[in-house]
Amino acid sequence: MTRDPAQDYFRGTAYPAFFHREQAPAWIASVAAALGRAAPDPARARWCEIGCGQGYAAAVLAAANPGMRLTGIDIDPGHIETARARAAAAGLENLDFICGDIRDPGLVAGEFDYIVTHGVLSWVGDAVRSAIADFIARHLAPMGIAAVHYMSEPGGAAFRAFHEVFRSVAHRPDPVAEGLRALSAMRDAGAGFFQLYPHAGPTLDKLLADPPAYVAHEYLNAVFRPLSFREVAGLFSAADLGWIGSATPIENIDAVSLPADAAQVIAPIREIALRETLKDMARNQALRYDLFARPAAPLDGPAHLDLLRRWSWRLLPGAPAPGGLVFQTRIGPVDGDARIFRPLLARLGEGPAGFAELERIQPFAGRPGLLNQALQTLLWSGAAHPVLPVGDPAPSARLNRHLLAERARDQAVPALACPALGSGLAFGVADLDALAAGRAERDLRQLTALKG
């Protein structure tokens, strides 16, 4: 295989551990159901991550879903070594890591129900990007779903200027610190760039607080390429994969994710590429998380309802009290009507409930579409989540104990495995301390399988 080294990904330092909830089959399948698309059973899914980094998400999902079979692929041997060590320490047997280049066509055999890739597509060259689309086309099961994260146009384009600054100091001993210093000085000096792009300042503040290794992977790579929806959808349509919606649930609901005037302009437009491009313009979208799948006949109304009724929902720790809500979105604060959210939060506050039961509550009777949107909004906001039947909680208990022990040695713990969610959940410092000391509230101990 001949390779252009300019396509090669940054290798200076290990990428930090992250957990992205959009990578969980439970999340993807419930968002797909909301969109009217049936997806493979999350509890038994075959799952693959392209560019898995140090495999943190793979480990959490493997522990939370013992019936799943997971594969993480990454080109960086150091990342794969860390990933394998963590999986072995927690005794996770349903998880494999492959060290290799996604451009290698013989990397893996078989098919996957879910293929995810996060933080890769915009940071690799065209050949790697095409290889990722080819891999997904070759390995996605007929009813499978791919979740693809990338930096998008037009909101992401401004950060090319950041990339240029970091790349200009890449040869210096501490390029991250040098780049951040130069950008901060320009902002303090009132540089026109920061005035023209008001979202660049908050991003710089975030970078100043982020681990330097994260900043290095973000901005020291040879490639930093915000992509347009049209380009990405084109890449996947050439591989016979169509766009089914966003993995970010509110972006599938115009009423809560678009300014009202822009929503009116976009409403009559049917072509997906134009609609999504205009939506990205309305929100000045900097990141996208898109779902792709093979073409399938759309479900009719009754079949869609039947699909939605297979799901049960519960509140997550820290969910707001019943009442009206304010959602902090890309377009600013959006009000959540108390007539919708008060009864929903009140019922879920009593314990998990199935979609069919929630449909009987006012104002949802005869309005399943409204309930569907309300639940997707709560999912996005972190207030509610689908509940899965719990299989064996032991792997979650083992992994979570191991992660809490790593935390005692100053390792980051971005999420713990939660078998009832089929996913992971981020916990604050106080909750992690309480869980480690065995004095957390019962619900937290149950969620994380740390009962003892």
Q: Which residues bind ligand SAM (CB under 6 A)?
A: 9, 15, 18, 20, 51-53, 73-76, 79, 101-103, 118-120, 124, 128, 217
Nearer to ligand SAM, 216 or 440 (CB): 216
CB of 353 to ligand SAM, least distance (A): 33
Distance CA(159)–CA(155), nearest Å, equals 8
Distance CA(225)–CA(59), nearest Å, equals 29
Nearer to ligand SAM, 1 or 429 (CB): 1
Distance CA(203)–CA(155), nearest Å, equals 11
CB of 135 to ligand SAM, least distance (A): 9
Nearer to ligand SAM, 89 or 98 (CB): 98
Nearer to ligand SAM, 96 or 254 (CB): 96
φ, ψ of residue 155 in degrees (nearest 5): -65, -30
Nearer to ligand SAM, 1 or 437 (CB): 1
Nearer to ligand SAM, 34 or 80 (CB): 80
Nearer to ligand SAM, 108 or 128 (CB): 128
What are all long-range contacts of 76-80, with beta carbons under 8 Å and residues at least 24 apart?
A: 76/9, 76/11, 76/14, 76/15, 78/14, 79/14, 79/15, 79/52, 79/53, 79/54, 79/55, 80/55
Nearer to ligand SAM, 5 or 332 (CB): 5
CB of 136 to ligand SAM, least distance (A): 13
CB of 49 to ligand SAM, least distance (A): 6
CA 187 distance to own-chain centroid: 30
Nearer to ligand SAM, 52 or 374 (CB): 52
CB of 120 to ligand SAM, least distance (A): 5
Nearer to ligand SAM, 18 or 197 (CB): 18
Residue identified by tokens 């001993």 is 173
CB of 262 to ligand SAM, least distance (A): 30
Count of CB atoms within 10 A of residue 346's CB?
13
CB of 145 to ligand SAM, least distance (A): 17
Nearer to ligand SAM, 112 or 327 (CB): 112
Residue identified by tokens 């799948």 is 293
CB of 51 to ligand SAM, least distance (A): 3
Q: What is the CA radius of gyration of the chain?
A: 22
CB of 23 to ligand SAM, least distance (A): 8
Nearer to ligand SAM, 80 or 316 (CB): 80
CB of 450 to ligand SAM, least distance (A): 24
CB of 67 to ligand SAM, least distance (A): 23
CB of 20 to ligand SAM, least distance (A): 6
